[in-house]
Amino acid sequence: MRPAPEPGAELLADPYESFMYHHLRYYGYFKGQEKALQNNSILPSGHQQKSSTCLLKQDGFQESNKSNQNSLQDKKKLICSLMLEAALLKNKQVLVHHPESLGFPCLREPRGLFTLPTSGSLLQAPQWPIECEVIKEQIQHIEWVPPNLEPFYQLTGNEKAPEIVGEEKGTVVYHINPAAKGTCFTCARVGGTRGPVRSPAVTLEGPEDTTLLFESRFESGNLQKAVRVGPYDYELTLRTDLYTSKHTQWFYFRVRNTRKDILYRFTIVNLMKPKSLYSMGMKPLLYSERDAQTNGIGWRREGADICYYRCSSKEKQATYCLTWTVHFPHDHDTCYFAHSYPYTYSDLQRYLLAMTNDTVYSQYCKLRALCQSLAGNTVYLLTITSPSRNPDEAAAKKAVVLSARVHPGETSGSWVMRGFLDFILSNAPDAQLLRELFIFKVVPMLNPDGVIVGNYRCSLAGRDLNRNYKTILKESFPCIWHTRAMIKRVLEKREILLYCDLHGHSRKNNVFMYGCNNKGPTAQQLHERIFPLMLSKNAPDKFSFHSCKFKVQKSKEGTGRIVMWRMGIPNSYTMESTFGGSTLGKKSDSHFTSEDLKSLGYHICDTLLDFCDPDRSKVRVAPSKSRKRPAFFKNSGRCSSAGKRTEQMAEEKNVASPMCRVHQPVSTLSLCMENSSGKQGKNPEDIIMSYLQRRKLNAIQESRHLKGRLSWHTFSCTRPCPHEISHQLSPLVKNLWKTHRPHLIPVIPLLRTQKPLLVPLKQYHPPFQSQLDGQPPEEQPTGLCGGTLKHQPQLH
């Protein structure tokens, strides 16, 4: 049998009120009470209409009978109500709203589950595996842009490839214990190991001792051993990714006790990749603390006699060596070497802390904890958009998803992400317009554990996260699992227009993208190439469209771009930013700076506006002058790139969602012209044959599908072509035209010129756009070469 409820307890239906009732009864209240409370809740029914300042009122209880027997009971009731009110208001989970003078309680939004950087709070200390020794010194570097281009090292062929000596003939001057082989991650704590931090470097014998003092036990550092094989010659061994025996490419370490007028040589002896940008002129990065403090000079490219070669080791797994020489700028200086510009987890948190302290950002940027990593580090999620005026406008917004640092050693992805956030959070007109049109979901650092410990590719699970987006192991891959779940939730509510995962590349120069090949309807074919092509037009000295690939390889099925593409995001990309530099335009044969990488974040925003421009007439207007590099990246705080387009679009506030202004015939036409410029020694017939073979056209099926829709008439120019080169139709092309004429419409302009058109895509005039779009044809459309079409395709 159920025990009889205590007097008054049966009237407290709310669990919290029931708890408070028992708590107060323990301290002597309600004892000996014979009659239960008449109200059905501690909160009286007429409370919301009568009071806006308190949750409990004295007149909500039963009136006193003005007798001595009930007076003590009434006093206890009053004291009870006041204590409940005080306890309720002090409770951290309950929030009291007062809209329109009506007070009512509700639960607060959950907080404190993960540490978020908030105004006045300290940064979350990184969590390290307990096997790692960590120094207490905090490492920070200034941001600096070299005033001049930093050219590639010019290989002479006479670079020395020193023979590896090893510690048998050398002296170990620095050594830290790696994670034991065969172990796996168990737990983490702030500061890593619980024991005292020992000194892994040798002790100097006196002021005349020129031995360098190495250190790498800080965020993203990964030097394991240094062997002195000569007076100023050192062999370095990098620590592999934790709980693996491979993935050594990224390096970041510190040296002290330098001498100014001495030539030092450093040789890294256990790199894994057979090809590297160091074979193409890339230089390591050097940072001098004295230069930073006195001259404001930060990271710069230094090094000579650079050579990347295979080691003559007897091990089964082939390893490769990188050697270079360098002069340090000062005596007794503290310097750092790095593979690319470092960007640590603490750097990200400092940036997010500065962002949350800005009251303006909080209006359109919300910072949340997506999840916690294996080591307990927070994976942050930013939601960026302007407040919508009504639910319909909010529902009509499309989403854009960006992420970075799934591979922790690819720091260039963080600098591109930094440039994107700098711009999208600014008060530039284009940024305001983007926030009105889209909802941005941004995961700035997907693999904080790997970033903290200095891994190049893996997480603390010892696995490549960018091969496990299909995983169901939530506990083993929490960052990837929660990111995919977040994107699924977004897809249930709205369309995701673009997904882009930012990476770095160690074997190719320039910036490029990997996408997926959409083999759906004819209207969708080659559609995935539009955004990369337009980005190459907006950043012609950095982005290479010819380096882009659009394949769905079986070995890459677990990557983010393919998994998101299969989830229904056609424009799903991996953006690769080189560790080296550019071979294009004005920046040819020079290294990228951190500012160059940040500018790519702006170009993503600029291309997104071009890709989804509500002003459809922009394609048909006369060619406009190309926009200059925005003043936003000159630390002006504003962007001057928004011209008449932005002002005109800003006035059209009634546009609920962006409309894509790019159409398949236009994109195919431009892509074919772009592809032709990269095929050396091929004539237009070869290009067309390659085009038809690549698409594997079935003439019979296609002719049935397109029968009666299009007819072709003579295409000619009424004035000379500005490129001064024309090509007459050969018999081969005429025969091809009879069979495949509907499919040759996009590539016909290739027959007019053999020289690639280098005009931006936004300046192309689509000769068949109005007809293929089903819109009325315009009078005298202008051809790509400045001519006009005497006859145009007819719609039947």
Contacts 24+ apart (CB under 8 A), 653-656: 655/437, 655/614, 656/392, 656/393, 656/396
Distances (CA, A) of 93 to 19, 57, 72, 89, 329: 15, 22, 33, 9, 57
131 as an active site residue: the answer is: no
Q: For residue 761, how many other CB atoms are within 10 A of its CB? A: 24
Q: Which two tokens stand for residue 796?
A: 């039947």
Contacts 24+ apart (CB under 8 A), 533-538: 533/667, 533/670, 533/671, 533/674, 533/761, 534/607, 534/610, 534/611, 534/662, 534/761, 534/762, 535/603, 535/604, 535/607, 536/674, 537/760, 537/761, 537/762, 538/603, 538/606, 538/607, 538/610, 538/760
Q: Which two tokens stand for residue 277?
A: 């940008």
Residues in the chain: 796
Distances (CA, A) of 728 to 160, 247, 716: 55, 54, 11
Q: For residue 325, how many other CB atoms are within 10 A of its CB? A: 18
Residues in Cβ contact with 527 at an 8 Å cutoff, skipping those fewer than 6 apart: 518, 570, 571, 664, 667
Please identify which of the residues 302, 528, 576, 674 carries the catalytic annotation. Answer: 576
For strands 438-443 and 378-384, give the pairing: antiparallel
- The DSSP code for 579 is S
Please give the Cα distance from 145 to 493 (Å, whole number): 42
Is there a contact between 221 and 253 (Cβ–Cβ < 8 Å)? yes
Is there a contact between 658 and 614 (Cβ–Cβ < 8 Å)? yes
Sign for the CA dihedral angle at 206, 208, 211, 215 comes to positive
Residue found by looking up tokens 């970041």 in the block: 252
Burial class of residue 129, CB neighbours in 10 A (0-12, 13-18, 19+): buried
Q: Please give the span between the terminal C-alpha atoms of the chain, in angstroms, as a whole number.
A: 84
Residues in Cβ contact with 74 at an 8 Å cutoff, skipping those fewer than 6 apart: 61, 64
E-state strands within 373-522: 378-384, 398-404, 438-443, 496-505, 511-515
E-state strands within 176-274: 188-190, 213-215, 223-230, 233-238, 252-256, 263-271
Q: For residue 306, how many other CB atoms are within 10 A of its CB? A: 21
Please give the Cα distance from 276 to 580 (Å, whole number): 10
Q: Which two tokens stand for residue 620?
A: 């048909």
Beta bridge partners of 337: 253, 286
Buried-state track 513-544, b at ≥16 Cβ within 10 A, e below 16: bbbbebeeeeeebbbbbbbbbbbbbbbbebbb
Beta bridge partners of 572: 499
Q: What is the dihedral of CA 784, 785, 791, 796, to 10 degrees?
A: -10
Residue found by looking up tokens 């993208």 in the block: 513
- The DSSP code for 29 is T
* Residues recognised as catalytic: 576
